[in-house]
Structure 1
């Protein structure tokens, strides 16, 4: 069975984006870029992969699932297929997506993920956002969070759920030279 991994960056106070969904407050150092390019190159959008000279299949994932807000970041940049190297799914009931390389999940994201996990293939990368991660919490097998050395004070939370204590089991941790911690947990 395939696994769903929520691979995401967050501030020390648990936000994955500023209140408007922007990512500009996160300090992306050469150490972070090297880590992502070396360990999780398929999580980089197509344009970033091109700039870094990355090609070929991913190491962990062959599919990406993202929410409307995360996908809107690509649309704002004029990109309709942000991860052309992966099978792409967007959970939205409000956006009309015309790109044939992007499949819309209009409702029941939990059922859709359960179906995807039953199919043959590699891992499934949950690219965001926090609201979708909250809905899919029971389906997430692994959480990998890059904790950046910054406090936002507000924004989009890592999990957009109400009070819902969920125990995790720590699997690995790594501290990058810039102070970013990469923490992995099994759910």
Structure 2
């Protein structure tokens, strides 16, 4: 079954965007940028909310910029053809290799899991990820942790108040001291209910 993954750059105190909407501290150096390109090659479809979709629209025409370096052009060659599903209640049309979601998040993910084809189902954006987490749809959390404290902002982890057990699968420290952490969600098996208690081993009288 295709995995649902949630990956973003994050501050050490757990935010993807700072209190003023600033996220320039997530700008990758060459090594981290190469990592993101390779990660995106493993994605089969990307799910985005409106805000992230509009942020990423830059790349749809960025290849017209003659000043772009080779790494940026390689990113464009990976990102632009990638199928995308955009969740929005305000957009009526989207550009590039994208479509508007035709159903709810659980319905869309269910269809994508069942459809032929490989690659991860990647979720981008904290709002969409929070909804997916509340529905227990995320299989892996992947963080690229930057050595900065921003104090407040948009948190990486959803605040839904539900316990989630994780298994560490991979770590990597880059030369810039940025750290990649990859965790798998471990779901505890649901145990069938036991026999009704009768209290201290005393046989219950028939009612």
Q: So what's the TM-score if we normalise by structure 2? A: 0.72
Compared CA separation, residues 125 and 27, structure 1 to 2 (3 A): same
Compared CA separation, residues 171 and 78, structure 1 to 2 (3 A): closer
Which residue pairs with 1:102 in the alignment?
Answer: 98
TM-fit CA distance, 1:170: 0.8
Which residue pairs with 2:67 in the alignment?
Answer: none
Stretch moving more, 129-138 or 100-109: 100-109
SS at structure 2 position matched to 1:136: helix
Structure number with greater Rg is 2
Contact in 2 for aligned 1:147/1:182 (Cα 8 Å): yes
TM-fit CA distance, 1:24: 1.4
TM-fit CA distance, 1:14: 0.8
Query: C-alpha distance in 1, partners of 2:22/2:120?
Result: 24
Which residue pairs with 2:13 in the alignment?
Answer: 13
Residue 164 (1) aligns with residue 162 (2): yes
Number of residues of Structure 1 aligned to a counterpart in Structure 2: 168
Stretches of structure 2 lacking an aligned partner (at least 5 in a row): 62-75, 186-207
Q: So what's the TM-score if we normalise by structure 1? A: 0.78
Query: C-alpha distance in 1, partners of 2:148/2:94?
Result: 37
Alignment RMSD (CA, Å): 2.4
SS at structure 2 position matched to 1:25: helix
Which residue pairs with 2:72 in the alignment?
Answer: none
TM-fit CA distance, 1:19: 4.0
Which residue pairs with 2:53 in the alignment?
Answer: 71
Query: C-alpha distance in 2, partners of 1:106/1:158?
Result: 26
